[in-house]
Amino acid sequence: MKTIFIVNPSAKNHHSLSSWNQFRQTIDIPHETFMTEHPGDVKEIVTRLVSQSSDEWLLVVGVGGDGTMNSLVSGTVGFDKVVVGYIPSGSGNDFARGYNWPNNKKQAYTLIKQGFKKEDIVLLDSGRFMMKSGPKGHFVNNIGIGFDAQIARKANRSSLKKRLNKWSLGQLIYPLLLCKEALTFKPFSLSIHVDGEEQQFHKVWFVTVSNQPFFGGGMKIAPQASPCDGYMDVTLVHGLSRWKLLLVFLSVFFGKHTAFKEVSTFKGKAMTLTTSRDVPVHADGDTVEELEKGNELKVHVLPLSWKMLNRSGWQKC
């Protein structure tokens, strides 16, 4: 077995690199380290290493945040002998929450240094999205359009987030922006086809398609979501006032928002979304090109498409 660490130096607004330089001094197992500059780098690295030794298992450990793990899982989908691990070094770290990984570097490394056998591996789902004549990609946490994507976009550009990250408080930017954007965001109408059945919604604030429960730095947006059931969980918030939106979001931290009549939830394997105006889109917290009015966002599940160390609490499906 070969162990490699994939480090995203830009994670946590570039603070993950200094954190990695300190942490790497504690690594006492044979390994290689690769720095990435672009999301597609992971696929190239993994492809090259697999071609060099196709019979050897490869443990690929991501060092960064949710965006790093998006790139890492996207780059390892389809490889039979590639297994994923994680050293959390981002701002939100919803991947760690959703996949029951330690949110502490030393504890995560303790799991990784033990190595693994075949029985230590769990197969998990991922999601795939595409827009007509536009971007496409994978997600492992969630993809969202509307209000939550607006918050993600503002957070990624925020100078305040950069300052908060210096004290490992970057996740606080999400509730702060939530309050601000709730005063200005304009709801939209939506048509959504889920496994062939169409529904229409008006005054939509956001739609989130989830592979695991968490988003936005710890909000439990999809309490029943599981990354090994072959389905995506849809959470759709519509038809409420700005002030009630804040109340709903407060309840999201506890997973109680689904009790509101304005919150619709359902599961599906494939869905198509169209909107009445241009709306922002995010995938695992990273901004994607806007979904334009009348265009289609297609999302579908890729069942059991990647492998992770089964020390996180997920049972084999």
What digits encode the pLDDT tens for the residues 22-40? 888 889 999 999 988 777 7
Helix and strand numbers (H, E) in the chain are 9, 17
Max mean pLDDT among 4-13, 151-160, 288-297 falls in 288-297
Domain count, the chain: 2
Please tell me the predicted confidence (pLDDT) of residue 11. Answer: 60
**One domain, residues 88 and 190:** no
Q: What is the pLDDT of residue 30?
A: 92
pLDDT of 169 strictly over 60:
no
The arithmetic mean of pLDDT across residues 144-151, rounded, is 90
25 and 135 in a single domain? The answer is no
Structural domain range at position 196: 128-302
Which of 82, 116, 150 is where one domain is finished?
Answer: 116
Question: How crowded is residue 146: how many other Cβ atoms within 10 Å of its Cβ?
Answer: 26
Q: How far apart are CA 67 and CA 60, in angstroms?
A: 15
β-strand pairing of 297-309 with 270-275: antiparallel
The dihedral formed by the CA atoms of 20, 21, 27 and 33, expressed in degrees to the nearest 10? 80
Structural domain contains residue 310 = no
pLDDT of residue 163: 56
Write the secondary structure of 79-135 as one string of H (helix), E (strand) and C (coil).
Answer: CCCEEEEEEECCCCCHHHHHCCCCCCHHHHHHHHHCCCCHHHEEEEEEEEEEECCCC
Same domain, 32 and 94: yes
Name the average pLDDT for the chain: 86
Q: What is the CATH number of the domain that holds 287?
A: 2.60.200.40
262 touches 248 (CB < 8 A): yes
Asked if 66 and 75 touch (Cβ cutoff 8 Å), the reply is no
Indicate whether 277 and 149 sit together in one domain: yes
234 Cβ contact list (under 8 Å, min separation 6) = 192, 194, 207, 208, 209, 210, 264, 265, 266, 267, 268, 271
Q: Are residues 145 and 254 in the same domain?
A: yes
Which one, of 63, 56, 69, 77, lies nearest residue 1 by Cα? 56
3-state class (DSSP) for residue 154: helix
Residue with the bigger pLDDT between 311 and 309: it is: 309
- 103-125 pLDDT, tens digit per residue, is 888 888 888 888 777 778 899 99
Give percent of the chain above pLDDT 90. Answer: 48
Is pLDDT of 55 > 90? no
Is 12 within the bounds of a domain? Answer: yes
DSSP string, 224-244: T--TTSS-EEEEEEES--HHH
Question: 6-22 burial string, b = 16+ CB within 10 Å, else e?
Answer: bbbbbbbbebbbebbee
CA distances from 186 to 5, 109, 151, 245, 287 (A): 42, 44, 13, 12, 18
User: Which of these, 269, 263, 235, 229, lies nearest to 248 by C-alpha position?
Assistant: 263
150 pLDDT more than 80: yes
Supply the pLDDT for residue 180.
Answer: 79
17-31, 53-67, 168-182 — which is least confidently predicted? 168-182
Confidence of residue 20 (pLDDT cuts 50, 70, 90): confident
Residue 316 included in any domain: no
Q: Is the pLDDT higher at 304 or at 153?
A: 304
Residue 303 scores a pLDDT above 80:
yes
Q: Would you say residue 64 has pLDDT above 90? A: no
Angle at which helices 147-157 and 173-181 cross, to 10°: 120
CA Rg value for the chain: 19
pLDDT digits over 263-298, tens only?
A: 999 999 999 999 999 999 999 988 898 999 989 999
Residue 61's CATH number? 3.40.50.10330
pLDDT band at 259 (very low <50, low <70, confident <90, very high): very high
**Which residues touch 311 (CB under 8 Å, ≥6 apart)?**
111, 114, 120
pTM to 2 decimals? 0.89
Per-residue model confidence (pLDDT) at position 50:
87
62 lies in the same domain as 148: no
Assigned token pair, 14: 């570039």
